[in-house]
Amino acid sequence: MESSRSRSWLFGIIGWLVAIVLFFPIFWVAITAFKTEQAAYSPSLIFSPTLESFHEVFARSNYVGFALNSIYIALGSTLLCFIIAIPAAYRMAFFPSAKTQSTLLWMLSTKMMPAVGVLLPIYLLFKSAGLLDSVWGLIGIYTLINLPIAIWMSYTYFREVPSAILEAARVDGAGIMSQIWHVLTPMALPGISSTALLLIILSWNEAFWSINLTSSHAAPLTVFIASYSSPEGLFWAKLSAASLLAVAPIMVMGWLTQKQLVSGLTFGAVK
């Protein structure tokens, strides 16, 4: 008893140590955001906090506009993604054919194509479709990017649902849409919502397409960051403030839904 208690202390200390080390860079960004530009270069923890950088950031860019675009795009693409992915995953999970496995893999492998290789084809497509700098264009591209993941994850979650339940629903008179909507989706909800969370995070942080395909009207927070970042790393305080503002919404959302994320992942793919 005695030793197990002291061991639990030890685990606590190690656990916290790791957490602090991993979180430290983010903590440092948060601290730097409240420093002046000159103080930002010094490693000191003691400084007089100032909102200067935030004032500057808000004066320079329309943060709310960028943030709203990010929200529209992340939620919109995730929703659209599921609308397309769920029927496909339904078919693959419950009526698999010999090609289902290879199709899934092929889909996942297209996801591995580097974006830099297909920028121009997509750009030209977008141009001719008039989708440049439109929220819908980005929603489309993220849907396309995330679709394989959504299908694959939904597929693994659906495989956990006994097919007899869907058959029961059919006998009860449920059509395909009813089966999916009333039975399958609610049953796989934990898995689907944690997948959704994953997709939202990925869309939120995607920086290549958003920067290349939008300019002002549809520009999300990654573009906002691009106006503060430079590979040369100038203006740390302002960059930190902007980063904090860009990361905060998604991080708060992630933290609030962490329980959901955990339980959802437990349900499906990783059980």
Partner 1 sequence: MSDGSVKIKNLVKTYANEHGHPAFTAVKGIDLEIKDGEFMVLVGPSGCGKTTTLRMIAGLESITSGTIEIGGKVVNDVEPKDRGIAMVFQNYALYPHMTVFENMAFGLKLAKKSKDDIRDAVTRAAKALDLDQLLHRKPQTLSGGQRQRVALGRAIVRNPKVFLFDEPLSNLDAKMRVQMRTEISRLHAVLRTTMIYVTHDQVEAMTMGDRICVMRAGVIMQVADPLTLYRQPQNVFVAGFIGSPPMNLLNGVVKRSGCGLEFVDETGAFIVPLPSRLEKFAEPFVGRKIIFGARPEHLSPTPTSDVGTQKPLTMTIELAEPLGSETILYLKSGARQIVARHIGEQHCQPGQTVALHLNMEKVHLFDAETGNVINA
Partner 2 sequence: MKKCLILLTVLVTSICAFAAQTVTIAAVNNPAMIELKRLSPKFEAQNPDIKLNWVIVEENILRQRVTTDVSTGSGQFDLVFLGLYETPIFAKRGWLKEIKDIPASYDVEDVFKSLRDGLSYDGKLYALPFYGESSMLMYRKDLFAAKGLTMPEQPTYEDIKKFAAALTDKSAGIYGITLRGKPGWGENMAFIGTLVNTFGGSWFNMKWQPQIDTPEWTAAITYYVDLMKNYGPPGATANGFNENLTLFASGKAAMWIDATVAAGSISDPKESQVAGKVGFANAPIAKTPKGSHWLWSWAFAIPAKAKSADAAQKFALWATSKDYIQMAAADTGWATVPPGTRKSTYENADYQKASPFAAVSLKSLQTADPTDPCAKPVPYHGIQLVGIPEFQSFGTVVGQNIAGALAGNESVAQALKMSQAAAARAARQGGYQK
Partner 3 sequence: MKRPIRTLLQAPSVGLLFLWMIVPLAMTIYFSFIRYNLLNPDVHGFAGFQNYQFLWEDPAFVPALINTLALIGSVLIVTIVLGTLLAVLYERRFFGRNVATLLVIAPFFVMPTVSALVWKNMILHPVYGLLAHAFFAVGLTPIDWFGRFPMVSVIMILSWEWLPFAFLILYTSIKSLDREQREAALIDGAKPVQMFFHITLPHLKRAIGVVIMIETIFLLSVFAEIYTTTSGGPGTATTNLAYLVYSQGLQQFDIGIASAGGILAVVMANVVAFFLVRILARSLKGNT
Report how far residue 242's alpha carbon sits from residue 173's, in angstroms, rounded to the nearest whole number: 54
Report how far residue 79's alpha carbon sits from residue 217's, in angstroms, rounded to the nearest whole number: 21
Write the DSSP symbol of residue 48.
Answer: -
Residue 75 binds which one of partner 3, partner 1, partner 2, none, with CB within 5 to 8 A depending on kind? none
Residue 162 binds which one of partner 2, partner 1, partner 3, none, with CB within 5 to 8 A depending on kind? partner 1
Closer Cβ to partner 1, 49 or 162, answer by number: 162
Closer Cβ to partner 3, 121 or 186, answer by number: 121
**Closest distance of CB 130 from partner 2, Å:** 10
**Closest distance of CB 99 from partner 1, Å:** 9
Report how far residue 105's alpha carbon sits from residue 9's, in angstroms, rounded to the nearest whole number: 45
Which structure tokens are listed for 19?
């957490």
Residue 134 binds which one of partner 1, partner 2, partner 3, none, with CB within 5 to 8 A depending on kind? none
Residue 168 binds which one of partner 1, partner 3, partner 2, none, with CB within 5 to 8 A depending on kind? partner 1
**Closest distance of CB 107 from partner 3, Å:** 7
Report how far residue 4's alpha carbon sits from residue 17's, in angstroms, rounded to the nearest whole number: 20
Closer Cβ to partner 3, 84 or 132, answer by number: 84
Residue 181 binds which one of partner 3, partner 2, partner 1, none, with CB within 5 to 8 A depending on kind? none
**Closest distance of CB 190 from partner 1, Å:** 10
Indicate the length of the chain as a whole number: 271
Scan residues 143-202 and list those touching partner 1 (CB under 8 A). 162, 164-165, 167-174, 178, 182-183, 186-187, 189
Q: Using alpha carbons, list the distances in angstroms from residue 15 to 12, 21, 22, 102.
A: 5, 10, 11, 41
% helix / strand / coil in the chain, to the nearest 5? Answer: 75, 0, 25
Q: Using alpha carbons, list the distances in angstroms from residue 22 to 27, 28, 34, 155, 193.
A: 10, 11, 21, 33, 26
Report how far residue 127's alpha carbon sits from residue 134's, in angstroms, rounded to the nearest whole number: 11
How many residues bind partner 1, per CB under 8 A?
A: 18
Residue 132 binds which one of partner 2, partner 3, partner 1, none, with CB within 5 to 8 A depending on kind? partner 2
**Amino acid at residue number 5:** R
Scan residues 79-98 and list those touching partner 1 (CB under 8 A). 98
Residues lying near partner 1 in the complex (CB under 8 A): 98, 162, 164-165, 167-174, 178, 182-183, 186-187, 189
